[in-house]
Amino acid sequence: MRIELLSEIWATARRNKLRTALTGFSVAWGIFMIIFLLGAGNGLINAQLEQSNRFLASSMMVFPGQTSKPYKGMKEGRAIKLLDRDVMMTEKTFSNYAEDVGGTLSQPGVNISHEDKYVSKQTLGGRTPTDRKINKREILTGRFVNDIDINERRKVIVLTETQAKELSRDYTSLVGRRVRVDQLSFLVIGILKDDKMEQNNTAIIPYSTLKTIYAKGDDAGEIQFVLKNMTSGEQSEQFEKDYRAKLNTQHDAAPDDESAVFIWNRYLDNIQMAEGINIIQKALWIIGLFTLLSGIVGVSNIMLITVKERTREFGIRKAIGAKPWNILRLILAESIITTAIFGYIGMLCGVLANEYMDMTIGQKTIDTGLFQATMFLNPTVGIDVCVQATMVIIIAGTIAGLIPALKAARVRPIEALRAD
């Protein structure tokens, strides 16, 4: 009986190729678009998450800038330099919200060599131990700078993976050996895993060591610290405002001058990004569902037309003994099988399109010169979402076929035979 039913459905589809194709296209297109859009949205979201996950979410960085407005008789355009007293002020005045406070200094244009190999135009980064926590640096082998290195101003260095590979074929063996930074000898204590978002040309030495060797005086470079006791975005914004006002005042700049110092509030950024991601996901689902709805409407319309066109056929069937259930089952079976087959095709095309995106633009990065940023990452959709979307269209197709099926099942044979 099932084989006969399938054969009859197949014969009907072959007799009405255009109608079947239009129905199938509506279904497949709806499934394809919702999977494709969700995949593309996930690609953008995953790239943003990877970028933000490179740093400790509850952290803040402060960069020197220049004044943008006159203040206390001084003109705008004055360069601001962050100093050691700014670091101390952060630790003491804002101890309820800031911890692990430290400066970051840089010395560009150095050459690092080992035996007969060298890397040129590198940067030395003076860092404190908390830098590893804030910037989520991963050690391949060895260790990071510690408090003893800072206190004793040790000449120790942590190389990047790229630098180490340039200096030695067996790069992990460099730990415990010495390299030269220009004319100075440094002991290699660790090797950092490369960050694919950066150029990986900055070797880390103790903050105090760089300050001493390169005579940085009271220059603190940039300031970074961990935020604590933060419970909301509003609280974080108020802290940023108060901190800026205090810092600007120490440099005779207007308290509200946002150009005097640039503050990267990662805590607030993460809250705003989470809100943005939520909006994007909802928007994509709404667009996808409307696209899916258009497919459902298409199926409903075509099924209604199908029943109207076959009214005479159904009348003949009932006249020769077919029961209403037989008519109902036939139409429902056609609807379910059509939506299931073309829904699966749409799902498969959507998955393949996402995989193609992943292979082409899914791993590409944009090089800004200072860092590299991934704009599109892993634009895929979970198999559970694909199956759910396909099941929705199948159920919707069943419902879409149910109304005309009930209408066809109730038609009286004499009325059906009179139909044009």
In tens digits, the chain (420 residues) has pLDDT values of 467 666 766 666 677 777 777 777 878 888 888 888 888 888 877 777 776 667 788 899 999 999 999 998 888 999 999 999 999 999 999 999 999 999 999 999 999 999 889 999 999 999 999 999 999 899 999 999 999 999 999 999 999 999 999 999 898 999 999 999 999 999 999 999 988 767 789 999 999 999 999 999 999 999 999 999 988 889 999 999 999 999 999 999 999 999 999 999 998 888 888 888 888 888 877 887 777 777 777 777 777 777 777 777 777 777 777 777 777 777 777 777 878 888 888 888 988 888 888 787 766 666 554 455 566 677 777 777 778 777 877 777 777 667 767 776 777 766 655 655
Smallest CA-to-CA distance from 173 within 163, 164, 185, 181 is with: 164
Q: Which residues contact 18 (CB under 8 A, 6 or more apart)?
A: none
**Boundary (domain end) residue, out of 244, 267, 290:** 267
Domain that holds residue 182: 59-267
pLDDT of residue 62: 95
CA distance 110 to 163: 12
Question: Do 258 and 275 fall into the same domain?
Answer: no
In degrees, to the nearest 5, what angle opens at C-alpha 231 toward C-alphas 274 and 259? 70
Instruction: Check whether residue 73 and residue 203 sit in a common domain.
Output: yes
Are both 44 and 151 inside the same structural domain?
no
Q: Which of 267, 283, 315 is the endpoint of a domain?
A: 267
Residues 49 and 121 reside in one and the same domain: no
SS3 67: coil
Q: Regarding beta strands 222-227 and 365-367, do their DSSP bridges make them parallel or antiparallel, or are they unpaired? A: unpaired
Residues 217 and 240 in one domain: yes
Do 373 and 237 fall within a single domain?
no
pLDDT in tens, 204-257: 999 999 999 999 999 999 999 999 998 888 999 999 999 999 999 999 999 999
Q: What is the pLDDT of residue 58?
A: 87
Cβ pair 150, 120 in contact under 8 A: no
Boundary residue ending a domain (248, 267, 286): 267
End-to-end CA distance of the chain: 31
**One domain, residues 9 and 134:** no
pLDDT value at residue 284: 79
* Predicted pLDDT of residue 370: 45
CA dihedral 112, 116, 117, 120 (to 10 degrees): 40
Question: Do 224 and 315 sit in the same domain of this protein?
Answer: no
- Total length of the chain: 420
* Per-residue model confidence (pLDDT) at position 162: 93
Number of domains in the chain: 2
pLDDT at site 280: 82
Q: Are residue 148 and residue 286 in the same domain, yes or no?
A: no
Note whether 245 and 276 are same-domain residues: no
What residue spans of 310-323 are helical by DSSP H? Answer: 311-319
pLDDT at 357: 82
Looking at residue 36, what is its pLDDT? 86
Residues 203 and 131 placed together within one structural domain of the fold: yes
Same domain, 254 and 279: no
